[in-house]
Structure 1
Amino acid sequence: MSEPLRVGVPRQSRDHLSRPRLLEALGEGELPLRVVQAPAGYGKTALLAEWATGRGTTAATVWVTVDEECATRLGFWSRLVALLGTVDPALAGVEVSADAVANLPTLLPPLLDTAGRPLTLVVDAAEQLADPQVERDLLRLVRHTARLELVVGTRRAGELTDPATALNVDAVTLGHHELAFTPDESARLAEQLGSPLTAEQIGAVHDASAGWPLAVRAGVRMPPEHPWPDPAEADTLSRLQRMLVGDLAELPWFDDLVLLSVVDGVSVRQAELLGVRLDDHPILAAVEARGLGGWEDGLGEPRFRLQPLVRDALRQRLDDDRLRAAHRRLIAWYEERGDRAGAFESALIAQEWQRARVHLGQAFREVAGGLDRGWVRRVELPKPVLRAQPLLALFTAVAHYANGDVAKAVRMLTAGVATAEWQRLSSHGRVSVDHVWIQGMLTLGLRFAGRDELVQPALRRLLAMLPRAADPTGELDYLRPLIVTQTASTHLLLDRVDDAVGALAERPPERRGSGSGGLHPESLTVLAHASAGRIGLARAALAELVDSRLPRFFNAGFYAIPKHVGAAYVHLEDHRPDAAADELTQVMPHWPTVEWWPLVLHARAVQHWHAAGAADALRVLDAGLTEKSRKPLGAAMRAMLTALHAELLLAAGRPAEARRLIPSRRIRPYPRLAVAKARGLLLDGDHARALTIATAPAHEHRGTPRIRLHLGLIAASARLRTGDRTAAAREFADAVALSDDTGLRSPFAAMPRPDFHTLVAAVPDGAGLRAHVDRFPVLFPEPEALVSLTRRESAVLAELATPDTLAAIAGRLGVAAGTVKSQCRAIYRKLGVSARDEAVAEGRRRGLL
């Protein structure tokens, strides 16, 4: 096999960082077209050079970097044909002249097809091509020969980057989002360059620059001409901004560029509104040449967008008066275009508080959906404004919570409540719209803080205030759907699922065109029914959320989180843990900040239980609880996760630990804990106490169908094991009827299988139920197989399954060898064996390993 032939491929610099994910995305195999499109500073040339150098192919690679000499059609083809002649003699005599250049796209394909080896043509800096006909020539070549692969690096959109081209020609396109460094790549680059920055400083550079390679490279270096820190600079980011934009200040019209920084991507008409004419503005060319920004073509008008770090550096040079004046002009601009989020943010920056309130009151969801998460850090609302505008305070606090600042959100939500209550009492008890929002702030603040005992009375009071509030502008009527969804959300987080279902059933109809937010009630309904165990109703609610009818990107958004969690429970009922995992994967981007994390964690642990067993589910649950250990957790959600933790310990053969989690005195307020406690007693052989808890009247009225079904089946097993087969059959028949009504089957898999098989045999047409339940994994060991090993004994038993000596095991566990021997004797006694191999075999048989 002949060696690869490369002409003109640039050498890689010593500090080049190899990025395998991008090389893999470009691909090794033959492909007609590959395009890398991004602004300057994204490493296009270095990436393509590494890809071209590392390919294991016999193709000849010819590299053309477009410059002034080959920007025209004649200049480009003259250079390319000259380079082609160096790789194949048959291509050396091709005529290139002003008259012949138009015929080259027709002449070259047969010559390339008969050449000695395939050709890979890399055209870098293609944005400098002055004649668009060159792109059409290249596409014609690609379409008419199978022996040519075209690779293009460019800053700007053109015919080669047009989506229509990708439909006609097999193509791979990488943009600036893909070329941006990941946090890991930024850290690897810093290590490779020997950067003296700390990991925190490197992370700050990466976050502030959104992974922009030019900025990251500049940030992790410390060149002599840019020492850090400067006396006027406080951190690495300030130094980096000075490096990037410092020399721009010496250019004419720099003030125009500073003014343009008020907008994240400015159109020609927006710039005119700000007093700047963008057409052929000389400073824009300077910005583009440095890779600090460029034109973007998207939906609507083209916009000139500065890199985020550059924009932030420029915006810091605007004094408050100029900034507010610019945004006063922009408010009307956004209002004319129906951009409520843009108008709201500009109103806040311009300190037009009432206009901001109007937009929020008339389009709460549109504003929330149109703002990025960082808006709250760009706007500082004075305390008097927050006290005077409680709706603004509520919205701002929710934004802080979404950013993970729970403490600040709670402080903001509760700060002005006492003052507002005094105002309400002084008005002789009359309730205004603002009083409703203040009560909403109190309810939400208590919810965020995990104070369940106070959330319920606060919510009751809020709901009682609504019909009495004087609302001359109809603000509450407009936002009533939002109030309903937040009420339902509060009930779900209090584990009062039936109350959530009731609240959602009474919701008013949504306005047409309300987008993803308008589907939040349907999404919550899926979760409410699935959590309760009404699987049939959950399926019906899911059927209303068919993907083809949903807004674009709905499934990736916040409003779809309840739907995904509910759908996961439904898939588990259908024996599809992989489908449940797919649903929960779509939730994980929201995991760091979402308030729903206890419900998400519960669903993830149950999914792992069904898919991989109790030990894997315990690992997921423990990891999630550790990660969220600093997050407030209400009593109801804590009880839900504690109950699951206890049941997983039972399932893993660790009943002693499960017993310690749930003392009898704790179960009265929480039916979920009653299920776990009763199951532990059943598996321990204490059938009488298990039956007492399972048949307690309180649970019949307060439990969901899922809880009632679990308790009924525990009661049936307890009665069967005490010899009362008639009562057991009656309990089981009631459970089957409840299961038929709801479509819920998985609780039967939690029964001891011999009990289930005995009782289902007496049920008319029970064969179908048995076949369905037998497809579930066995969730708990049989009661007679349950051995109460301590946590340390469980760890030692797992080590006994390895070939290591007891001394090696003791070293790994950090204890003395004598201690391990004592624990082995205790394990042998509990398992009824006398040797190590027998203990391992018995542990496997009982499901302990």
Structure 2
Amino acid sequence: MPAVRAADRRADRALGDSGIAYAPHSPKGILDRPALTALIDEAATTPLTVLRAPKGFGKTTALARWVHERSPSTPRRGVWISLGDDGIGRTEFWTLVSTALRDAGLIGVDAGLGAAPRPPDGGLPEGSWLRHTLAGALERLEEPIVIVVDDYHRVGDRMVDDDLLWLLERYRTIRFIVATRVFSVFESLTATARIGIALVDPARLRLSSAEAHQVIERLLPTLTEDERQRLVDELDGWPLALIAVAHVIGRQRVSVDDALSLVAEDVLSDELVGSLLSGTADPEFDLFVLGSALADFVTPELAAALTETPDAASLLARLEHLGFGSWSGDPADRRFEYQGLVLSSLRRRARLVFADSLAERRTRLAEWLESNGYVMDAILQHSLAQHWQNAMAVTVRHASELARADTASACRLLALVPRRDPRFEAELAVIVAVVTSAHPEATGCENTLTSRHLAESVMHALEDAEPVRRAALLFALSRAHREAERYDQARLTAERLGAALAALDTDEMEQLGDLVHFCTREIGLASLAAHRLPVAAEYLLRSSTRARSRGDDAMWLDSAGSLAYAEASLGHVTRARARVAELRSGALPVDLLTGPHAIGLRLAEAVLDLDSFAAESSIAHARWVREAATGTEFAAVASAIETASMSVGGRISAAISRAKALVSATAGAEGTPSPHTREILHSVIVDGLVMSGRVNQADEYLRSRGLRNRLVLSEARLALVERKSWQVITITEPLLRTPDASPRATADALLLRAIAAHRLARADIALSARSDALTALIGSGLRHPLMLIPRAELVTLLEWSPGGDGRAQLASLETVPDRFTAATIVQQLTRRESSVLNELFTTSRAEVIAERLFVSPNTVKSQLRSLYRKLGVSSRDEALIVAADRGLAP
């Protein structure tokens, strides 16, 4: 199924040049300090917590652990802000905070300093404007939050301290935790503040002797006891110094004395960075470290695989791990990227030393990564170098492999979208289309495909595109139209894509690579969204077969589930049930079956349950789709299926009301829901009115909405209960002559035609239609059309069985709910009779009714006699009761 609509924010956002919003991941593998985590947990119960210590005391690491290991009593959501520059001003700081809150979805997109108008000259003082704007944003918070500010010592305006205390005194649902190297911060304010302030000093952050020995044992197990004790004594529990010295000793094979001399002044001094660089004998490892450090996408496993250098993997494995985005309440949420203190220093140094050759280095690294099978990393490097054509080429060649990359990598790539070069927007569109197609679960990443400007860029690029590039661009354009709910345009583009694929020769197909399979699925999904079900089934079958053979679980579930939905909607019920059973056989991971790739499967199950009259189960599946695909055509389809299931379950009046509400709510709207989905809702309304005996209302609905000749089956059903048998045969004739009519529509039309012909004593037509209807029902496994026929007429048709072929269906009627009321078949009232009936509810005097309708009293009396005859009553009181029962009351 298509990607679920992305949230309007990215998972990773740089906050200008002054800071980065990160949700850090707890570093693993060096040392567990549960006591320190518990200490911060306790301190965080106060409105403000301050961790203050010199550089390298593990403030960031301690807070990173706390974020992911804190107790349930603390707020479950918040933001992390790392300040990047010194001398950050008051307005700049609070802009960073409000932007982080807005990007995390904790305040509205129109809230915060970034969205607020600046005060005019002579207006509010700057401080008053700041506090007023922040207060307005924070008043909208719906839950308690934590705001963590790392490197708070970079704030250059101490009025920020006053602002912070002012906010905390007014909003007790907010917690601030700051880490700083400046001891004087909040010192003078602690005595006068009206809120609690918890101070965590260096003594609490130092490593104990036992913890220091534990670090040395892990990093340097070959040191003698004396050497270990010397390190413990000399570094006095300084966490980062101990780890850095251990790195130098392990990497450079130097003595303890030489290692200690390197960190005498600065733990991560230029000497340390230089020794790491100069000590690299392998030039490819040098390229790898520099390139990866610049990109911040290093993992220990990748380092080991590429360099075959155990020391490199060991070094990277011990770095502090940081992530991105705002953290959620789910402790299992691991949307994180890797970044370390040493790599941060390498990056800063490399930007100075190698500034002129960064793009070249990234390109070389990307080529190397691709050749070694690390496709996503290669695309990232090309993208960071702004080489979008190269990035698109790698994406096209290895599209299927992107599905195997983790979601965090997909988000990182999508986060580069705003840095696009206008000259290469078409290439960018292809990259984003492939990545979002492979990773619909990347919902935290901004998706710019719905931008009409981007679609126009693709269409412009199509004008002179060579065949392979043309196919890739058509794929991106079809997906862009589909994401923007332009389903007819998506279908037309998909048709052009199919023609473009058919025109490719063998060499060109090879150049298109894995993208050809993405194109096949896209044609199927675009056809499905436009309700071209036979075409959708054809292409989705190809896509699911290929995905299954390659072991691509996500694409198989996506394609096969969508195929099952198409088959179930067409009426190939037996086939669809077998496909669903295969997907549910236990071969697929549970997380796939509960994610966006399962939307097609759940829609199929909703239709199949509706067809077997399991109304509540169908409703449950449809509601799951509505929530998972909010705002898309498939959510609209799910709403229509849910409404139809209510009718199947016997709640016909409620189904009619809900369908009318859904139709009214989307009247005149473009996109979602599509005309086909609206016709489903119209059918629910008309069929419901017919089944509940309100034939006049059904006729009026068809007439007033201009639906005659569009809702063929509902119109034929209405004609059947009005005993207009020849009209039933006339209405169904064109549908049955349509060569591509679905089994569902065919079976329904044949049943209606057979009953009408039987009434007319046209045995030839009745027998033929009855035989064909039973063949269609038995061959496809359909059951739902049986419920849409008045039970008495259906039984008569099946019992009229010269050949006995209706006995099985007759016996199975026990499981088919009878939703037609006993008084369904009535004579239709004329418009004048309906007007008289409406007036009859307010008065019994013919003279008054005549005056209101501008007719003579004799005319009213004539209409009353006809009305009473049709209703089968002899008095006004009886007429009112019967009319109310049949839904004819005004």
Question: TM-score, with normalisation over the residues of structure 1?
Answer: 0.57
* Residue equivalent to 1:494: 530
Q: Distance in 1 between matches of 2:401 and 2:827?
A: 55
Matched, 1:678 2:678: no
Q: 1:501 to 1:268 in 2, by over 3 A?
A: closer
Residues 110-189 of structure 1: pairs in structure 2 closer than 5 A:
179-180=76-77
The residue aligned with 1:558 is 596
The aligned amino acid for 1:770 is L
Q: Distance in 1 between matches of 2:391 and 2:797?
A: 64
Q: Is the 8 A contact 1:362 1:475 kept in 2?
A: yes
* Alpha carbons of structure 1 residues 780 and 762: separation in structure 2 relative to 1, 3 Å: same
1:422 aligns with 2:450: no
- 1:520 maps to 2:539: no
Per the alignment, do residues 420 and 694 of structure 1 end up closer, same or farther by CA in structure 2, a change over 3 Å counting?
same
Equivalent positions of 1:384-533 (< 5 A) are 384-388=423-427, 391-392=430-431, 394-395=433-434, 409=450, 411-412=452-453, 414-424=455-465, 431-445=466-480, 458-469=493-504, 471-472=507-508, 474-507=510-543, 509-510=546-547, 512-533=550-571
> Map of 1:739-754 to 2, 5 A cutoff?
739-754=777-792
Is the 8 Å Cα contact of residues 293 and 304 (structure 1) preserved in structure 2?
Answer: no
State the alpha-carbon separation in 1 of the partners of residues 636 and 451 from structure 2.
19
RMSD of aligned Cα (Å)? 6.3
Superposition pairs of residues 225-240 of structure 1, within 5 angstroms:
229=130, 236=137
Q: 1:828 to 1:686 in 2, by over 3 A?
A: closer
Distance in 1 of aligned mates of 2:568 and 2:740 = 17
| Displacement after TM superposition at 1:465 (Å) | 1.9
Q: Which residue of 1 aligns with 2:818?
A: 778
Distance 1:556 1:837, change over 3 A: farther
CA distances 1:806-830 after superposition (whole Å, capped 9, x unpaired): 9xxxxxxxxxxxxxxx9xx999978
Q: How far apart are residue 648 of structure 1 and its match?
A: 3.6
Alpha-carbon offset, residue 539 of structure 1: 1.4
Q: Secondary structure at the match of 1:773?
A: helix
Shift of 1:357: 1.7
Partners of 1:787 and 1:232 in 2: CA distance: 65
The Cα shift of 1:497 comes to 2.0
Tell me, yes or no, if the aligned pair for 2:798 and 2:810 is still in contact at 8 Å. Answer: yes
Give secondary structure in 2 for the equivalent of 1:592: coil
Deviation track 1:384-437 (CA, whole Å, cap 9, x = no partner) reads 11135662364589799989999962614641355334315xxxxxx4211112
How many angstroms does 1:708 deviate by? 0.4
CA distance in 2 between counterparts of 1:561 and 1:294 reads 24
Alignment match, 1:22: none
Query: Is 1:383 matched up with 2:422?
Result: yes
2:622 and 2:639 in contact (8 A); partners too = no
* Distance verdict in 2 for CA 1:46–1:694, change over 3 Å: farther
Q: Does the 8 Å CA contact 2:570/2:744 hold for their aligned counterparts? A: yes
What is the rounded CA distance, in whole Å, between the counterparts of 1:593 and 1:40 in structure 2?
45
Q: Residue type of the partner of 2:765?
A: A
Show the counterpart of 2:653: 615
Displacement, 1:383? 2.5
Counterpart Cα distance in 2 of 1:330 and 1:837: 88
Superposed CA deviations along residues 241-296 of structure 1, whole A, max 9, x for unmatched, are 9994582525459999xx999869998999x999x999798x99xx9xxx999998
Q: Which moved more, 1:297-306 or 1:497-506?
A: 297-306
State the Cα distance separating 1:652 from its structure 2 match. Answer: 5.0
Equivalences for residues 347-358 of structure 1 within 5 A: 347-358=382-393
Unaligned runs of 5+ in 2: 1-33, 47-60, 79-96, 115-124, 156-179, 182-265, 270-291, 304-310, 342-347, 844-859
2:392 partner letter? R
Q: Distance in 2 between matches of 1:516 and 1:341?
A: 17
C-alpha distance in 2 between matches for 1:467 and 1:433: 11
CA contact (8 A) 1:447 1:490 kept: yes
Distance in 2 between the 1:681 and 1:404 partners? 52
Q: Is the alpha carbon distance of 1:244 and 1:476 closer, same or farther for their aligned partners in structure 2, counting shifts above 3 Å?
A: same
Write out per-residue CA displacement over residues 104-151 of structure 1, whole angstroms, 9 at most, x where no aligned residue.
xxxxxxxxxxxxxxxxxxxxxxx99xxxxxxxxxxxxxxxxxxxxxxx
Alpha-carbon distance change, 348 to 217 in structure 1, aligned in 2, over 3 angstroms: closer
**Shift, 1:236, TM fit:** 4.2
Deviation at 1:750, TM superposition (A): 0.4
Question: Which residue does 1:111 correspond to in 2?
Answer: none
Instruction: Quote the Cα distance in structure 1 between the aligned partners of 2:37 and 2:684.
Output: 49
- What whole-Å deviation, never above 9, does each CA across 1:655-677 have from its counterpart, x for those lacking one? 4554455469977996xx21122
**Structure 1: gaps (5+ residues):** 1-34, 48-126, 129-152, 162-172, 182-201, 307-314, 425-430, 807-821
1:708 to 734, 746, 756: 746
Structure 1 residues 748, 347: closer, same or farther in 2, change over 3 A? same
**Deviation per CA, 1:188-222, whole angstroms, max 9, x where unpaired?**
xxxxxxxxxxxxxx99987644669xxx9999xxx
What residue identity is the alignment partner of 1:247? Y
| 1:666–1:839 Cα change, 3 Å | closer
Letter in 1 for 2:130: P
Question: Bigger CA drift: 660-669 or 473-482?
Answer: 660-669
**What amino acid is the match of 2:386?**
Q
3-state SS of paired residue (2:546): coil
Deviation at residue 487 of structure 1 after TM alignment: 1.7
Over 3 Å counting, the alpha-carbon distance change for 1:378 and 1:155 in structure 2 is closer
CA positional deviation for 1:610: 1.4
RCO higher in 1 or 2 (8 Å CA, sep ≥ 6)? 2
Instruction: Evaluate the alpha carbon distance shift between residue 841 and residue 653 of structure 1 in structure 2; reply closer, same or farther with a 3 A threshold.
Output: closer
Aligned mates of 2:609, 2:553 — CA distance in 1:
26
Q: CA–CA distance in 2 between the matches of 1:519 and 1:597?
A: 18
Range 621-630 or range 601-610, more displaced: 621-630
Q: Which of residues 669, 687, 694 is equivalent to 1:647? A: 687
The aligned counterpart of 1:573 is 611
Q: How does 1:201-240 map to 2 (within 5 A)?
A: 208-209=103-104, 229=130, 236=137
Percent of aligned positions with the same letter in both sequences?
19
Q: Which amino acid aligns with 1:493?
A: A
Residue 632 (structure 1) aligned to one of 655, 659, 671: 671
| In 2: Cα distance, 1:700 partner to 1:756 partner | 25
Choose 1 or 2 for highest CA Rg: 2
Q: 1:683 to 1:419 in 2, by over 3 A?
A: same
Deviations 1:569-617 (A, max 9, x none): 2223333223223322432332314342343233222222212422222
Alpha-carbon shift at residue 710 of structure 1 (Å) = 0.9
Q: Secondary structure at the match of 2:130?
A: coil
Alpha-carbon separation, structure 2, partners of 1:261 and 1:295: 30
Residue aligning to 2:625: 587
2:777–2:783 CA contact under 8 A, matched in 1: yes
Distance (whole Å) between structure 1 residues aligned to residue 739 and residue 670 of structure 2: 31
Give the residue type in structure 2 aligned to 1:469: L
Indicate conservation of the 8 Å contact 1:297/1:303, yes or no. no
Where in structure 2 are the equivalents of 1:231-250 lying within 5 Å?
236=137, 244=149, 247-249=152-154
Q: Within 1, Cα distance between the matches of 2:337 and 2:708?
A: 63
- The answer on 1:758 being equivalent to 2:796 is yes
- Mean CA deviation greater in 768-777 or 558-567: 768-777
Q: How far off is 1:563 after superposition?
A: 1.4
Q: Are the counterparts in 1 of residues 616 and 649 from structure 2 also a CA contact under 8 Å?
A: yes
